[in-house]
Structure 1
Amino acid sequence: MCSTFFFGTLVISAAVTSGFDLNNFDQLNAAKKSPDKKIVIKNLLVPAGKTLDLTGLQSNTVIEFTGRVTFGYQEWEGTLIELKGKNITVLGKPGHLLDGEGQRWWDGKGGNGGKKKPKFIRVSLVDSTVTGLHIKNSPRHCFMIKSSENLRVQNTTIDIKDGAKHGGHNTDGFGVSSSRNVTISNSEVYNQDDCFATTSGSDTIFENAKCVGGHGISIGSMGSGNVVERVVIRNCRVLANTNGIRIKTRKEETGAVRNVTFENIEIKDISKYGIIIQGNYYNSGPRGDPTPFPIENLVIKNVRGHVARSGTNIFVWVAPGSAINWFWNTKITGGLKEQQCKGVPNDQTSRCGKK
């Protein structure tokens, strides 16, 4: 397509790149080598058991999703979409949909048995942006960020509402690991597991999010020597989740949580815990007394809202000496189930485990 500009009697034609239209999976390799470095993915069907492999991209590539992208059905444990590169721009155009049709795999077991289920999208991006993606019905874990640096993900919708009635499980929203300087902003997540979780890395921001139906916003589960540090979670709403915010470390494992801030978090209709910090986490439930695991310079500021009567407002159970330099300012009400907190710093003033 050309645009024509008139300056007196001089006519200048400027070429405008439309990009490589990828609507046939067999053209994927050609699209990645396109000299104009723009891939427009339109109404694409990815064959069963295959990955939309957007790795090995040329630097400064632009990827646009338009129309509906779907995936053939097969029981497998791969990833439906992979993105990897430097200086990459990913755009979801108005009206597009990345549709995992996860109901074909859901059986209430997630990654704990039953059908083998693929994860949805994994990104390893440097100096890049991802904007405006609309994702529906991931078979299990949805948006995994790994080995990324200087990445901004914004205006994302993860819609797995259907999983609540049709066996969705382990449908985690965002997961960040082994990354630095990642910001996730202005997202909506409807799912059946963590809205956001980070298990390793530094300088992470999760902000301006709406989380509905899942397990809350999490640090961890932590172990295997991993460290999470300099994380800010702010200006979020956590609605109808099992937990509001939580930190979970695994017994007899090593690692550290340092310089984490939860600020301006509204919770509402939480069924189990408004805030929970536990040092003996297992998927199947806590086992025995926690072992030491440092959680240092933790700020929980203006975390407020409501827990169901059958739940607990605040619960902490960590090994003595694990909690170092905590600052809390919370107002959480509603939960009538009292549990005795253990390992809380002596200067902690929150009504831990109280009504």
Structure 2
Amino acid sequence: MHISNILSVASLAALTAAAPSELERRQQNCVFTDFDKIAPLKKYCDVIALRNIHVPAGKSLDLTDLKTGAHVIFEGKTTFGYAEWDGPLVKVSGKQITVRQTEGSVLDGEGARWWDYHGGNGGKTKPHFFSAHNLDDSRIEGISVKNSPVHCFSLDSKNLVVSGVKIDNSDGDDKGAYNTDAFDVAHSYNLTIENAWVHNQDDCLAINQGDNIRFTNGYCYGGHGLSIGSVGDGNTVSNVEITNSQIINSMNGVRIKTKSGHTGEVRNITYRNITLSGITDYGLIVQQDYNNPGHATNGIKVHEITFDNIHGTATQKGYNIALTCGEGSCYNWTWKNVKIHGARDYKCQNYPSTASCSAA
């Protein structure tokens, strides 16, 4: 990649020491190859090129509080030292930020060093991968992630677009990867995730709290499907559209999960044009007993829900459709062209009369 008017790290450091106010008035394009140079200089850069950066063990690649309008460009292979800690390995914040990469670049978590067939609450302490907290009015586009140790993208921002992200955790299928959620969403408003390609071992999408969220043109392989929740602790998920996506060889397809004994709300959710194939457990599931199976409660209302053109196959040992609601808490559902077959019928409870629990 060529960046015009590149200022070397050495000259940038000298200018910083001499006249910070002058530096802040000038546009600076910065290329970093040394992790230790990034933190003291990042706030002055309009363009930050990260070239084959190695992040030391137990540290984050800290790209928080960037200059408004900055562009972050990953070049080559970004790697991380091994330590048992919570992470994140990368964290980004700021306003009007663009995060992207050059062709062929990758952020490689080398997750096999942590994978041990245990989830995030057992075995080794595993670092989350990429945190976008207060990354507002911004874009993450075309980033390629390989082998995240555990949860990949944690999104907690306003007016953020995540476009064309690839998450390849396929090596973890037979090496003990667990809880490798692709996109975990909390406290987000006006979020778009589009054209994602995911191969992982947990939720492709999990929205725990937020409003005005759009997920479209996604490809999800090997995980736990496209999920609202788990919702509890008084949280609300509202105004969500999940459309035009494929879920392949996964545990679940379409899923809404809320916690027994909790309060909150799931409102105005649309799943439309979702194709399923090889779903092993539940093709479409709404459950209000996520944390206490068999004890669905009604403290969380699940209403104004649309399932439209959900079709495909589940395996013989699974269930096509499973609806387990608390009494009176699931209502005002629209149910159109839901056709899932290949598996068994489930003994559903307290679901709206507009829905069906039988294979179509």
Name 2:334's counterpart in structure 1. Answer: 327
Q: Which amino acid aligns with 2:81?
A: G
> Which of 284, 295, 301 is the equivalent residue of 1:288?
295
**1:30, CA displacement in angstroms?**
3.5
Q: Deviations over 1:217-248 (max 9, x none)?
A: 00000000000000000000000000001000
- On the 8 A contact 2:339/2:359 being kept in 1, the answer is no
Q: 1:104 & 1:287 partners in 2: Cα distance? A: 37
> Which of 55, 62, 77 is the equivalent residue of 2:71?
62
Q: 2:132 & 2:48 partners in 1: Cα distance? A: 17
Q: Say yes or no: does 1:140 pair with 2:147.
A: no
- On the 8 A contact 1:312/1:353 being kept in 2, the answer is no
> More strand by proportion, 1 or 2?
1
**1:288, CA displacement in angstroms?**
2.5
Q: 1:68 & 1:2 partners in 2: Cα distance? A: 22
Q: 2:88 & 2:79 partners in 1: Cα distance? A: 13
Q: 1:199 & 1:33 partners in 2: Cα distance? A: 32
- On the 8 A contact 2:264/2:299 being kept in 1, the answer is no
- On the 8 A contact 1:292/1:320 being kept in 2, the answer is no
Q: 2:259 & 2:186 partners in 1: Cα distance? A: 17
**1:354, CA displacement in angstroms?**
4.2
> Which of 53, 63, 75 is the equivalent residue of 2:62?
53
Q: Say yes or no: does 1:216 pair with 2:225.
A: yes
Q: 1:2 & 1:294 partners in 2: Cα distance? A: 55
**1:286, CA displacement in angstroms?**
1.2
Q: Say yes or no: does 1:271 pair with 2:244.
A: no
- On the 8 A contact 1:211/1:239 being kept in 2, the answer is yes
- On the 8 A contact 1:318/1:342 being kept in 2, the answer is yes
CA 1:306/1:298 → structure 2, altered by over 3 Å: closer, same or farther? same
Q: 2:32 & 2:320 partners in 1: Cα distance? A: 50
3-state SS of paired residue (2:107): strand
Name 1:19's counterpart in structure 2. Answer: 29
Name 1:82's counterpart in structure 2. Answer: 91
Name 2:212's counterpart in structure 1. Answer: 203
**1:2, CA displacement in angstroms?**
6.1
Name 1:28's counterpart in structure 2. Answer: 38
**1:205, CA displacement in angstroms?**
0.3
Q: Which amino acid aligns with 1:24?
A: D
What value does the CA root-mean-square deviation take over the aligned residues?
1.5
Which blocks of at least 5 consecutive residues in structure 2 are unaligned? 6-26
- TM-score, scaled to structure 2: 0.90
Q: Deviations over 1:172-221 (max 9, x none)?
A: 00111101000000010100000001010100000000000000000000
Q: Which amino acid aligns with 1:174?
A: F
Name 1:158's counterpart in structure 2. Answer: 167
Q: Deviations over 1:258-303 (max 9, x none)?
A: 0000000000000010000000102xx6143434320010000000
Name 1:307's counterpart in structure 2. Answer: 314
Name 2:21's counterpart in structure 1. Answer: none
> More helix by proportion, 1 or 2?
2
3-state SS of paired residue (2:173): helix
Percentage identity across paired residues of the two chains: 43
- TM-score, scaled to structure 1: 0.92
- Runs of 4 or more above 6 Å deviation: none
Q: 1:160 & 1:203 partners in 2: Cα distance? A: 28
Name 1:94's counterpart in structure 2. Answer: 103
Q: Say yes or no: does 1:339 pair with 2:346.
A: yes
> Which of 270, 275, 279 is the equivalent residue of 1:261?
270
